[in-house]
Amino acid sequence: MISPLRLMVFTDLDGTLIDHDTYTWDAAQEALEALARVPAAVILASSKTAAEMVGLRAAMGLEDWPAIVENGAGVLSPGALTGADATQYHALRAVLETVPPELRMHFTGFGDVTAEELARITGLPLADAGLAQQRAFSEPGQWTGTDAQQRAFEAHLKDRNVITQQGGRFLTLSFGGNKAIRMGEIIATYQPRHIIALGDAPNDILMLEQAEHAVIVANPHRAPLRPLTNEAEGRVVRTQAAGPAGWNAAILDLLQRLDLT
Protein backbone atom coordinates (compact mmCIF):
# COMPACT_ATOMS: atom_id res chain seq x y z
CA MET A 1 0.00 0.00 0.00
CA ILE A 2 1.23 3.47 -0.88
CA SER A 3 1.18 5.80 2.14
CA PRO A 4 -0.16 8.38 2.08
CA LEU A 5 -2.39 7.35 -0.82
CA ARG A 6 -3.09 10.43 -2.93
CA LEU A 7 -5.96 9.11 -5.03
CA MET A 8 -8.34 6.16 -5.20
CA VAL A 9 -10.54 5.59 -8.23
CA PHE A 10 -13.58 3.30 -8.09
CA THR A 11 -14.87 2.34 -11.50
CA ASP A 12 -17.63 0.27 -13.00
CA LEU A 13 -16.56 -1.86 -15.96
CA ASP A 14 -19.17 -2.72 -18.63
CA GLY A 15 -20.32 0.45 -20.38
CA THR A 16 -17.91 2.56 -18.31
CA LEU A 17 -14.24 1.52 -18.45
CA ILE A 18 -15.03 -1.34 -20.85
CA ASP A 19 -16.78 -0.71 -24.16
CA HIS A 20 -20.39 -1.93 -24.20
CA ASP A 21 -20.01 -3.72 -27.53
CA THR A 22 -16.34 -4.69 -27.90
CA TYR A 23 -15.44 -5.42 -24.26
CA THR A 24 -12.16 -3.53 -24.70
CA TRP A 25 -10.65 -0.61 -22.75
CA ASP A 26 -8.05 0.58 -25.25
CA ALA A 27 -9.59 4.05 -25.41
CA ALA A 28 -8.89 4.54 -21.69
CA GLN A 29 -5.23 3.48 -21.80
CA GLU A 30 -3.87 7.04 -21.67
CA ALA A 31 -5.77 7.78 -18.47
CA LEU A 32 -4.84 4.42 -16.91
CA GLU A 33 -1.17 5.20 -17.55
CA ALA A 34 -1.60 8.68 -16.06
CA LEU A 35 -3.15 7.14 -12.93
CA ALA A 36 -0.21 4.75 -12.64
CA ARG A 37 2.15 7.74 -12.63
CA VAL A 38 0.30 9.52 -9.77
CA PRO A 39 0.35 6.72 -8.47
CA ALA A 40 -3.33 6.03 -7.77
CA ALA A 41 -5.27 2.99 -6.64
CA VAL A 42 -7.82 1.85 -9.20
CA ILE A 43 -10.58 -0.32 -7.74
CA LEU A 44 -12.63 -2.24 -10.30
CA ALA A 45 -16.27 -2.47 -9.19
CA SER A 46 -18.47 -4.67 -11.32
CA SER A 47 -21.16 -7.31 -11.60
CA LYS A 48 -18.40 -9.61 -12.86
CA THR A 49 -17.39 -12.67 -10.86
CA ALA A 50 -14.07 -13.08 -9.09
CA ALA A 51 -13.13 -15.61 -11.77
CA GLU A 52 -13.69 -12.98 -14.46
CA MET A 53 -12.06 -10.21 -12.46
CA VAL A 54 -8.78 -12.03 -11.85
CA GLY A 55 -7.81 -11.92 -15.53
CA LEU A 56 -9.12 -8.40 -16.16
CA ARG A 57 -7.38 -6.98 -13.12
CA ALA A 58 -4.10 -8.59 -14.14
CA ALA A 59 -4.41 -7.36 -17.74
CA MET A 60 -4.89 -3.81 -16.45
CA GLY A 61 -1.96 -4.10 -14.02
CA LEU A 62 -4.15 -3.57 -10.97
CA GLU A 63 -3.40 -6.74 -8.97
CA ASP A 64 -2.13 -4.73 -5.98
CA TRP A 65 -5.64 -3.48 -5.21
CA PRO A 66 -8.88 -5.16 -4.14
CA ALA A 67 -11.75 -5.44 -6.60
CA ILE A 68 -15.48 -5.28 -5.90
CA VAL A 69 -17.23 -8.24 -7.52
CA GLU A 70 -20.80 -9.32 -8.24
CA ASN A 71 -22.23 -5.82 -7.74
CA GLY A 72 -20.77 -5.49 -4.26
CA ALA A 73 -21.90 -8.85 -2.94
CA GLY A 74 -18.22 -9.75 -2.49
CA VAL A 75 -14.62 -8.52 -2.71
CA LEU A 76 -11.60 -10.01 -4.47
CA SER A 77 -8.53 -9.49 -2.29
CA PRO A 78 -5.34 -7.94 -3.68
CA GLY A 79 -3.27 -10.56 -5.49
CA ALA A 80 -5.95 -13.27 -5.18
CA LEU A 81 -6.09 -15.70 -8.09
CA THR A 82 -9.30 -17.59 -7.23
CA GLY A 83 -12.84 -16.76 -6.26
CA ALA A 84 -14.93 -17.55 -3.19
CA ASP A 85 -16.94 -20.57 -2.08
CA ALA A 86 -20.27 -20.93 -3.94
CA THR A 87 -22.44 -21.92 -0.95
CA GLN A 88 -24.17 -18.54 -0.90
CA TYR A 89 -24.90 -18.74 -4.62
CA HIS A 90 -26.54 -22.16 -4.28
CA ALA A 91 -28.72 -20.81 -1.46
CA LEU A 92 -29.72 -17.89 -3.66
CA ARG A 93 -30.69 -20.20 -6.50
CA ALA A 94 -32.82 -22.22 -4.06
CA VAL A 95 -34.75 -19.06 -3.13
CA LEU A 96 -35.20 -18.21 -6.81
CA GLU A 97 -36.92 -21.55 -7.37
CA THR A 98 -39.61 -20.58 -4.81
CA VAL A 99 -40.83 -17.79 -7.13
CA PRO A 100 -44.29 -18.54 -8.60
CA PRO A 101 -43.94 -19.97 -12.12
CA GLU A 102 -45.87 -17.13 -13.75
CA LEU A 103 -43.17 -14.73 -12.50
CA ARG A 104 -40.18 -17.04 -12.60
CA MET A 105 -40.65 -17.60 -16.34
CA HIS A 106 -39.75 -13.96 -16.99
CA PHE A 107 -36.33 -14.13 -15.33
CA THR A 108 -33.52 -15.95 -17.12
CA GLY A 109 -30.51 -16.12 -14.84
CA PHE A 110 -26.94 -17.00 -15.73
CA GLY A 111 -27.54 -20.34 -14.02
CA ASP A 112 -30.53 -21.08 -16.27
CA VAL A 113 -28.57 -21.27 -19.52
CA THR A 114 -25.57 -23.06 -20.97
CA ALA A 115 -22.26 -21.29 -21.48
CA GLU A 116 -23.00 -21.24 -25.22
CA GLU A 117 -26.35 -19.55 -24.66
CA LEU A 118 -24.82 -17.04 -22.25
CA ALA A 119 -22.15 -16.21 -24.81
CA ARG A 120 -24.91 -15.37 -27.30
CA ILE A 121 -26.83 -13.27 -24.74
CA THR A 122 -23.82 -11.27 -23.58
CA GLY A 123 -21.59 -11.26 -26.64
CA LEU A 124 -18.78 -12.70 -24.52
CA PRO A 125 -16.36 -15.27 -25.91
CA LEU A 126 -17.35 -18.77 -24.83
CA ALA A 127 -14.50 -19.10 -22.32
CA ASP A 128 -15.41 -15.77 -20.71
CA ALA A 129 -19.07 -16.78 -20.53
CA GLY A 130 -17.97 -19.84 -18.58
CA LEU A 131 -16.11 -17.61 -16.11
CA ALA A 132 -19.23 -15.45 -15.74
CA GLN A 133 -21.10 -18.54 -14.57
CA GLN A 134 -18.58 -19.25 -11.80
CA ARG A 135 -20.63 -17.31 -9.27
CA ALA A 136 -20.30 -17.10 -5.51
CA PHE A 137 -22.65 -14.33 -4.33
CA SER A 138 -25.23 -13.21 -6.88
CA GLU A 139 -27.36 -14.13 -9.90
CA PRO A 140 -27.74 -11.71 -12.83
CA GLY A 141 -30.41 -12.31 -15.40
CA GLN A 142 -32.64 -10.88 -18.10
CA TRP A 143 -36.12 -9.71 -17.16
CA THR A 144 -38.77 -10.04 -19.89
CA GLY A 145 -41.98 -9.37 -17.98
CA THR A 146 -43.93 -6.18 -17.34
CA ASP A 147 -43.02 -3.57 -14.74
CA ALA A 148 -45.90 -4.77 -12.55
CA GLN A 149 -44.69 -8.36 -12.78
CA GLN A 150 -41.18 -7.23 -11.91
CA ARG A 151 -42.46 -5.48 -8.78
CA ALA A 152 -44.22 -8.69 -7.74
CA PHE A 153 -41.09 -10.72 -8.49
CA GLU A 154 -38.93 -8.39 -6.43
CA ALA A 155 -41.43 -8.32 -3.54
CA HIS A 156 -41.43 -12.14 -3.37
CA LEU A 157 -37.64 -12.17 -3.21
CA LYS A 158 -37.48 -9.33 -0.66
CA ASP A 159 -39.68 -11.34 1.70
CA ARG A 160 -36.93 -13.98 1.56
CA ASN A 161 -34.07 -11.52 2.16
CA VAL A 162 -33.00 -11.33 -1.47
CA ILE A 163 -32.41 -7.88 -2.94
CA THR A 164 -32.41 -6.83 -6.58
CA GLN A 165 -30.21 -4.29 -8.36
CA GLN A 166 -30.67 -3.06 -11.92
CA GLY A 167 -27.38 -2.87 -13.81
CA GLY A 168 -26.53 -1.76 -17.32
CA ARG A 169 -27.90 -4.95 -18.87
CA PHE A 170 -29.07 -7.33 -16.17
CA LEU A 171 -31.23 -7.49 -13.07
CA THR A 172 -29.00 -8.94 -10.33
CA LEU A 173 -30.17 -10.83 -7.24
CA SER A 174 -28.18 -11.24 -4.02
CA PHE A 175 -28.51 -11.54 -0.25
CA GLY A 176 -27.17 -8.01 0.19
CA GLY A 177 -24.21 -5.75 -0.25
CA ASN A 178 -23.63 -3.18 -2.93
CA LYS A 179 -20.77 -1.28 -4.49
CA ALA A 180 -21.11 1.65 -2.07
CA ILE A 181 -20.86 -0.58 1.02
CA ARG A 182 -17.70 -2.24 -0.27
CA MET A 183 -16.36 1.14 -1.34
CA GLY A 184 -16.76 2.45 2.20
CA GLU A 185 -14.91 -0.55 3.63
CA ILE A 186 -12.01 -0.11 1.20
CA ILE A 187 -11.79 3.63 1.86
CA ALA A 188 -11.64 2.96 5.60
CA THR A 189 -8.74 0.58 5.04
CA TYR A 190 -6.63 2.73 2.70
CA GLN A 191 -7.76 6.27 3.69
CA PRO A 192 -7.01 7.98 0.35
CA ARG A 193 -6.74 11.76 0.13
CA HIS A 194 -8.98 12.05 -2.95
CA ILE A 195 -11.75 9.73 -4.20
CA ILE A 196 -13.19 9.51 -7.72
CA ALA A 197 -15.98 7.16 -8.81
CA LEU A 198 -17.17 6.45 -12.35
CA GLY A 199 -20.25 4.57 -13.54
CA ASP A 200 -23.13 4.50 -15.98
CA ALA A 201 -25.97 2.44 -14.48
CA PRO A 202 -28.50 2.64 -11.63
CA ASN A 203 -26.49 0.20 -9.53
CA ASP A 204 -23.60 2.71 -9.60
CA ILE A 205 -25.58 5.61 -8.09
CA LEU A 206 -24.80 4.96 -4.41
CA MET A 207 -21.12 4.56 -5.25
CA LEU A 208 -21.12 7.77 -7.27
CA GLU A 209 -22.89 9.74 -4.53
CA GLN A 210 -20.33 8.59 -1.96
CA ALA A 211 -17.35 9.89 -3.93
CA GLU A 212 -15.62 13.24 -3.63
CA HIS A 213 -15.81 13.52 -7.43
CA ALA A 214 -18.20 11.47 -9.56
CA VAL A 215 -18.33 10.82 -13.29
CA ILE A 216 -21.45 9.60 -15.07
CA VAL A 217 -20.18 8.00 -18.24
CA ALA A 218 -22.49 8.33 -21.23
CA ASN A 219 -24.15 5.10 -22.30
CA PRO A 220 -26.28 5.37 -25.47
CA HIS A 221 -27.79 1.96 -24.73
CA ARG A 222 -29.77 3.18 -21.72
CA ALA A 223 -31.56 6.24 -20.35
CA PRO A 224 -29.34 8.78 -18.55
CA LEU A 225 -29.06 8.46 -14.78
CA ARG A 226 -31.21 10.72 -12.63
CA PRO A 227 -29.56 13.84 -11.13
CA LEU A 228 -27.34 12.84 -8.22
CA THR A 229 -27.58 14.41 -4.77
CA ASN A 230 -24.17 16.07 -5.12
CA GLU A 231 -24.57 17.10 -8.75
CA ALA A 232 -25.80 20.62 -8.03
CA GLU A 233 -22.60 21.23 -6.04
CA GLY A 234 -20.47 20.65 -9.14
CA ARG A 235 -18.99 17.42 -7.83
CA VAL A 236 -20.47 15.39 -10.70
CA VAL A 237 -19.58 15.53 -14.38
CA ARG A 238 -21.29 13.78 -17.28
CA THR A 239 -19.21 12.72 -20.23
CA GLN A 240 -20.06 13.43 -23.84
CA ALA A 241 -18.22 10.39 -25.18
CA ALA A 242 -19.44 6.92 -24.23
CA GLY A 243 -17.57 4.12 -22.49
CA PRO A 244 -13.79 4.13 -22.18
CA ALA A 245 -13.37 7.22 -24.36
CA GLY A 246 -15.54 9.22 -21.96
CA TRP A 247 -13.78 7.59 -19.00
CA ASN A 248 -10.41 8.60 -20.41
CA ALA A 249 -11.37 12.26 -20.94
CA ALA A 250 -12.97 12.60 -17.50
CA ILE A 251 -10.02 11.10 -15.63
CA LEU A 252 -7.46 13.26 -17.45
CA ASP A 253 -9.55 16.36 -16.69
CA LEU A 254 -9.93 15.48 -13.00
CA LEU A 255 -6.22 14.78 -12.62
CA GLN A 256 -5.56 18.32 -13.85
CA ARG A 257 -8.21 19.81 -11.55
CA LEU A 258 -6.76 17.95 -8.56
CA ASP A 259 -3.22 18.95 -9.54
CA LEU A 260 -2.18 15.29 -9.80
CA THR A 261 -0.66 15.31 -13.28
- Per-residue pLDDT, averaged over 115-127, amounts to 93
Identify the pLDDT of residue 47.
Answer: 85
Provide CB contacts within 8 A for 156, sequence distance 6+.
Answer: 98, 99, 100, 103
- Round to whole Å and give the CA distance between 246 and 116: 32
177-230 residue pLDDT tens: 899 999 999 999 999 999 999 999 988 999 999 999 999 999 998 889 999 988
Catalytic residue among 12, 14, 19, 204: 12
Q: Looking at residue 60, what is its pLDDT?
A: 96
Residue 96: how many CB atoms within 10 A of its CB?
21
Q: Where in the chain is the domain with CATH 3.40.50.1000?
A: 7-81+178-257
Res 2 pLDDT > 80 = no
Q: Is 159 a catalytic residue?
A: no
Distances (CA, A) of 147 to 144, 154, 235: 9, 10, 33
CATH of domain 87-174: 3.30.980.20
Q: Per-residue pLDDT for 232 more than 90?
A: no
* pLDDT for the residue 64: 96
- The yes-or-no verdict on residue 55 having pLDDT over 50 is yes
Q: What sign results for the dihedral spanned by CA atoms 223, 218, 229, 47?
A: positive
Q: What is d(CA 142, CA 171) in angstroms, rounded to the nearest whole number? A: 6
The per-residue pLDDT for 165 is 85
Domain 7-81+178-257 - what CATH class? alpha beta
pLDDT at 168: 66
Q: Kindly report, as residue ranges, where domains of CATH 3.30.980.20 are found in the chain.
A: 87-174
